[in-house]
Amino acid sequence: MSWIFKSFLAAGIACAGAAAKADTIVDAPAAAVAGSFIGEYDNALAPLQAVKFCMNYGAECEPDAVADQQTLPSGERAKDMLREVNRAVNDAITPTKKPTSPLLAHWTVSPDAGDCNDYAVTKRHRLIEMGWPKSALRLAVVLTASGQGHLVLVVRLSEGDVVLDNLSSSVRSWNTAGYQWISMQSASNPRFWVAVGEHGQHLRASRLASLRTPS
């Protein structure tokens, strides 16, 4: 799959599989090490469904207020909250296939039935309601091992990034999830997205190479 195609993959995130409903654990590293955080590169196009989501749920997409910015829960309390939200949302939403056309698809908070997009935005919504800062809760587009587009929620803890995912009963470190990382919401503004991982690195290298090439 070409890098250019991947950069536009988010136009139709198909999702994959059903929700995992088993008890959850956090498989995050005990201390920050190299690779604990997803590498971020240049700006990326927001998925059209994300733009529509922000139109329908404006409060979800407002940046954190600097004067009233929440702080992350700490230690085991934070991990317990993530376990509970991942389990509760995976149990609450019945998996179903939805249209992937950008014109028909939409992301919904707390539906009775939904796809990966609905699981991800619902988990983010619940954590925001619990007082988590939006800057630490970032929707991300990935490719599964089969090459299918998928949406997950990345949570930035002090020791590293972890993933809440309807396809997993565990809250895993991002680099053990087995995905190709494509793009993710910006920490500074949920309406903006950035290219991430090897995909973002490749796009930046290609852009810099094109700037050095004589016309």
How does pLDDT run across 190-206, given as a tens digit for each residue? 999 999 977 766 677 67
Helix axes 75-92, 116-129, angle to 10 degrees: 140
Which amino acid would we find at residue 206?
A: S
Quick one: which of 164, 152, 178, 196 has its CA closest to 6?
Answer: 196
Q: How many alpha carbons lie under 13 Å from residue 57 in its C-beta half-sphere? A: 17
Distance (Å, rounded) from C-alpha 23 to C-alpha 28? 16
CA angle, 106 then 108 then 111, to 5°: 130
State residue 102's pLDDT score.
73
CB neighbourhood size of 174 (10 A): 25
Using CA atoms, how far residue 132 sits from 1, 70, 87, 159, in Å, is: 36, 6, 17, 16
- Stated length of the chain: 215
How does pLDDT run across 84-109, given as a tens digit for each residue? 999 999 999 999 998 878 778 899 99
State residue 91's pLDDT score.
97
Q: What is the pTM of this model?
A: 0.85
Its sign, for the CA torsion 113, 119, 121, 124, is positive
Q: How many alpha carbons lie under 13 Å from residue 28 in its C-beta half-sphere? A: 26
Domains annotated for the chain, with CATH where assigned, are 3-193 (3.10.620)
